[in-house]
Amino acid sequence: MILEIRAVEPFHKNGFVLGCEETRQGIVIDPGDETPALLQAVEQHGLSIRYILLTHAHLDHITGVGAAKSALGAPVGLHEDDSFLYDAVVQQGQMFGLRVEPQPKVDFFYDGEGPWRFGTYGAWVYHTPGHCPGGVCLAVGREGENARTLFVGDTLFAGSIGRTDLPGGDLQTLLSSIKNVLFKFPDETVVYSGHGEPTTIGRERRTNPFLNS
């Protein structure tokens, strides 16, 4: 699978371009301020982007939706329970003292697991609330194969977990999403978080201090 990751100031939030080597179809996950670099990667790999998929609607994950959508012409998907955050992106910016442009309407809400297909790959969507009500994780892999790569947004980080002090956040809900959804994946599953370095399910299961107390 083609995988490109970009992150820029001020949030150092990871944006992703995923692509199928054979068909050159791809998806973009969480386009934020690093969207120009994501678009460059799309072009370098000659990808045709089928979907823009959002893990959740905190501003750092959505400030580039408008730019990505107009450059790529792909529909934007979100979990419905994060609509209130998505629609308040300008106010979210004000909380951080940032001027943020309103973003275009999302094109569809996730209904069920999917998959949302790009070439020989699919992205399966799992609702993992707690960091925010409409948080999802995307499990990406080839159809017919078991191996999945997880894109977890801000639900789980290498050695940490998502904050739950923002509107709609809840710690018990977050812990249960991690234990009942993410930890159902095998130890070797690679996890890409919304911020910081990748990890694996096994490593977090064994060493994450927030899940072992």
Q: Measured from the CB of residue 53, what is the shortest distance to Zn ion in angstroms?
A: 15
Q: Which of 8, 176, 155 is nearest to 82 (CA)?
A: 155
Cis ω on the peptide bond leading into residue 36 (within 30° of 0)? no
Instruction: Report strand pairing: 76-78 vs 48-53.
Output: parallel
**Binding range to Zn ion, per CB under 5 A, among 5-13, 80-88, 104-112, 121-129:** 5-13
**Binding range to Zn ion, per CB under 5 A, among 25-33, 52-60, 167-175, 177-185:** 52-60
The answer to whether 79 contacts Zn ion (rule: CB under 5 A) is: no
Q: Measured from the CB of residue 149, what is the shortest distance to Zn ion in angstroms?
A: 19
Give the count of beta carbons closer than 10 Å to the beta carbon of residue 84: 14
As a whole number of angstroms, the distance between CA 117 and CA 119 comes to 6
Residues in the chain: 213
The answer to whether 58 contacts Zn ion (rule: CB under 5 A) is: yes
The answer to whether 64 contacts Zn ion (rule: CB under 5 A) is: no
**Looking at beta carbons, which residue is closest to Zn ion?**
58
Q: Which of 6, 7, 42 is nearest to 25 (CA)?
A: 42
Among 33, 60, 81, 204, binds Zn ion (CB under 5 A): 60
The answer to whether 154 contacts Zn ion (rule: CB under 5 A) is: yes
Binding residues for Zn ion, rule: CB under 5 A, are 13, 58, 60, 154, 194
